[in-house]
A = this chain, B = another copy of it.
Amino acid sequence: MTPDIVSGVTQPPPRRPRKRSATRSVTLSDVAAAAGVSAQTVSRVVRDPMSVSDETRARVQAALTATGYVPNLAASNLASNRSRTVAALVPQINASVFADTVHAFSTALAAHGYQIFVGTTDYRPEHEEEVLRSFLGRRPDGLLVVGTRHTPGTLTLLGAAGVPVVETWGWSEDPVDLLVGFSNAAAAAAMVDHLVRRGRRRITFAGRHTSGDPRAAERLDGYHGAVRDLLGSEPRTVDAGPEPVTMDTGVALLDLALERYPDSDAVMFSSDVFAAGALQACVRRGVDVPGTLALAGFGDFELARHLVPALTTVAVPSVRIGELSAELLLTRMRGATVDVPHRDVGYRVVAREST
């Protein structure tokens, strides 16, 4: 059987086949052998069943279930240069409005066969860069990030990724690519306006604006501007520093605000979580809300309307942001162009009992 050695040509030394750690799982070829077709045909059945004949499809599908085939997406990604995944980078996922955005985003993209992987930055910009870098190793077909302010390193990575990017939950005159958001500054200013209309004059802003939450910092800017324009008085602000976004921190912020500005007649927080903690502390201490002190939050969590008194807050279309982001990203991933790549989804001051 073995053909003669061609004279003059030195035969390569006989190699025993390398042993590789045998993969335990069923491959396309296994299914192909079982169905009596080529691997390519099985691949077609998996990805686009209508591209093969009825008879073949039935046979392959039977083999597919019989063998319990699970496609190896790493191999698929490598061969096709498409990962069918989208990465989302959010500051925090638990107990947060970002969860609604991510959920809507995820659902909309899942309907088109995309998987989403979510990374949290814990409000630390340098961590954002690290997480982004490790995510890019999976070669996502698109990216969603929360916020419009990024480190130079992050901007470089986003640019070099070569895929569509949506920035969300903020507004910018100079976005990286796509943008679905609203002006945090305008929203905070609208809240100040609401409080002023309700007769408040000594409004304190309490947030976590110095330690890596650019949205809170933007809201602070809006507060500053509105206080200057509407009241002409000095701003009054307290900051939670690096404390986590919890109700406990909200109580601490309230104490800080009342200590530093004892004559405050309103405190507006950079998050409903803070405001909810402060509100319950007031109820417990017998402080009359809104009689003595008005309180307002940001985000319109479900909790806000259930609290007694119900919490005034700024509603942001979190779900809409997720849906719209998915829509724009899908268009771009299909290779089409997006006519209006920057979308302002707005906000809404929801006046309730706490003011």
Q: Judge whether B100 and A94 touch: CB under 8 Å.
A: yes
Interface bits A56-91 vs B (CB < 8 Å: 1, else 0): 000000000000101111110110010100000000
What is the distance, in angstroms, from A134's C-beta to the closest C-beta of chain B?
6
Q: Which residues of B contact A20 (CB under 8 A)?
A: 81
Contacts of A21 in B (CB 8 A): 81
Contacts of A73 in B (CB 8 A): 74, 137-139
B136-A70 in contact (CB<8A):
yes
Assembly CA distance A146 to B137 (angstroms): 28
CA distance A95 to B318 in the complex (A): 15
Scoring A residues 13 to 46 as 1 if CB is less than 8 Å from chain B, else 0, what string do you get? Answer: 0000000110111000000000000000000000
Q: Does A52 reach chain B (CB closer than 8 Å)?
A: no
B133 and A247 within 8 A (CB): no
Assuming the A-B contacts A70-B136, A103-B94, are A247 and B306 also in contact, with contact meaning beta carbons closer than 8 angstroms in the complex? yes
The 4 A-B pairs with the shortest beta carbon distances in the complex, nearest first, are: A94-B99, A74-B77, A73-B137, A74-B74
18 new A-B contacts, CB < 8 A, other than A70-B133, A70-B136, are A6-B6, A25-B139, A70-B160, A72-B78, A73-B137, A73-B138, A74-B77, A93-B93, A94-B94, A95-B95, A115-B117, A117-B118, A246-B302, A247-B302, A247-B303, A280-B307, A283-B308, A284-B308
